[in-house]
Chain A
Amino acid sequence: MYSTTLHLEKIRADFPILHRKVNGQALIYLDNAATSQTPLSVIDAISDYYKNTNANIHRGVHALSQEATDLFEAARKKIQTHFNATHAHEIILTSGTTHSINLVANGFASLLNEGDELIVSALEHHANIVPWQMLCERTKAKLNVIPMTENGTLDMEAFDAMVNSKTKVVFVNHVSNALGVINPIEHIIKKAHAVGAAVLIDGAQATPHLIPDMQALDVDFYTTSAHKICGPTGIGMLYGKEEWLRKLPPYQGGGEMIDQVTFEKTTYADLPHKFEAGTPNIAGGVGFGAAIAYMNSIGFDAIKAHENDLLHHATKKLSEIEGLRIYGNVPNKVAVISFNVTGLHPYDIGTLLDKMGIAVRTGHHCCQPIMDFYQIPGTVRASFAFYNTHEEVERFVSGLEKAISMLR
């Protein structure tokens, strides 16, 4: 691994919010897994769109409408290039990961039969559990769960044994939002494809840290939200292989319509618009494209190297604190640290850190099954981004020590 130096001062100047104070203290923002901050270039792209181009897209003959359409479609193209999808029309712009998963899960209602099996992992966000449970209720398909192990990884032997000819869809996150552990999705995809099952990967927590290659992964569906990657909220991506997007009925238009959809060519020609009913979040799409451009201007190799340094620094320092346990402390993870301190409630720690201007997440992180597995009410989660500094790691650790001494 080569060492890369990010120009942190310059990068931080791109993010106005990082310079504000919280509770009288300089903000240390370590809740990046929940949402990342927005650079000026993205804010400007959205603002410029409303100032200069705002119009409805795909319909108008007038100049503004055509310019707005060009901007929106250029954003789609940027996203396609970034994730190396074969076609731009395989990129569906949704409101975010939750919307994307619901779209796919809903679509499978017409493709499943009673007795079919679905596979989910124990490490999922509720957004990648509940839509599929709803699907199982409707179709009488069976939901199997890949169990997790004590160190926060998936039990792949159990997965291998679970896959069979009845398996129709497998849905797993690329990176666990609660623990930061990177899951072996390449293996999962190959194994699932061997029995003809489709695979959906929830990439919301992976895409801020790495670039998943749609063609190399050979994944069927991949989804993320722009706000995890320095983009705006309310916009996200569903990548779907063309063949699958053609098979799935439209999401919006009513349940009754879904049964009557026939897969004729004329209907298929409509991708990606088939899944983009109504006026889309045009400004959001433009902001999403700008965010992708911004991230690439920094460079993902440099981002990864710096975040790994921050992760190792923080992990080492936290490990020195008596009674502190890190969940999912494995080598293959992104810059997320989920932990508890013996005898202390995560909310107490989070509340006191907040008073020191340090933003962390506390609670179950929308992953109650993981908390049940460890038999804990929740964890404290510090999640880092490329704009965080080693000084912030130091201040976070000393703030944590102060909080612990107050609570003990």
Chain B
Amino acid sequence: MNIVEKQAEIVTEFALFDDWMQRYEYMIELGKSLPLIAPTYKTDDHIIKGCQSKVWVHAELENDKIIFTADSDAIITKGIIAILIRVFSNQHPKDILAADTAFIDEIGLKEHLSPTRANGLVSMIKQLKMYALAYQTQLS
């Protein structure tokens, strides 16, 4: 599945829920399926700045595709990064760089997040794209 298809899949999943409560329960569930970052990478230089809870992200290149792993000390944040990683992991750096992130608004994630969390979300996307940019530079 490419990025657009994955985003559409997530939008469909979130459309099944009627209220915020179910959405948050689902996000908490998604957080549990997050591909966890190796403990050796859980260091300060892997922390994403701009999040009020701690979020660590690591990226590796495998067969020209980026594999993301992450973790957070907050459960809902784990769910959010899990959604992003599901979309962006195992994709080519150039596709990650080109991707738009309108699906976040579509699933109602942004409007249901407090401003601080919404800022954290922006920081997370920015960080994933920074990794993509770094690997893209390496590949070209």
Contact = CB atoms under 8 A, between A and B. Distances in A.
Given A345-B74, A347-B74, A347-B77, A355 B24 contact: yes
Interface of B: 20-21, 24-25, 28, 52-54, 73-77, 112-114, 117
Name the interface size band of chain A: 10 to 19
Interface in A341-396: 344-345, 347-348, 350-352, 354-355, 362-363, 377
Nearest to B54: A377
A165 to B, nearest CB: 43
A407 interface: yes
B74 A406 contact: no
Nearest to A350: B114
A145 to B, nearest CB: 25
A350 B117 CA distance: 11
A interface, by DSSP: helix, strand, loop or mixed? helix
Contact of A347 (B20, B25, B28, B53): B53
Contacts of A297: none
A75 to B, nearest CB: 33
Contacts of B117: 347, 351
Instruction: Enumerate the 4 nearest inter-chain pairs by beta-carbon distance, A residue then B residue, closest first.
Output: A345-B74, A347-B74, A347-B53, A348-B75
5 contacts: A347-B52, A347-B74, A348-B74, A348-B75, A348-B76
Interface of A: 23, 344-345, 347-348, 350-352, 354-355, 362-363, 377, 406-407
A23 B19 CA distance: 11
A128 B22 CA distance: 43
Given A351-B117, A354-B114, A377-B54, A345 B75 contact: yes
Contacts of A347: 52-53, 74, 76-77, 117
A351 B20 contact: no
A350 B24 CA distance: 13
* Residue from B73, B76, B114, B117 whose CB has the most chain A CB atoms within 10 Å: B76
A344 B53 CA distance: 12
B10 to A, nearest CB: 20
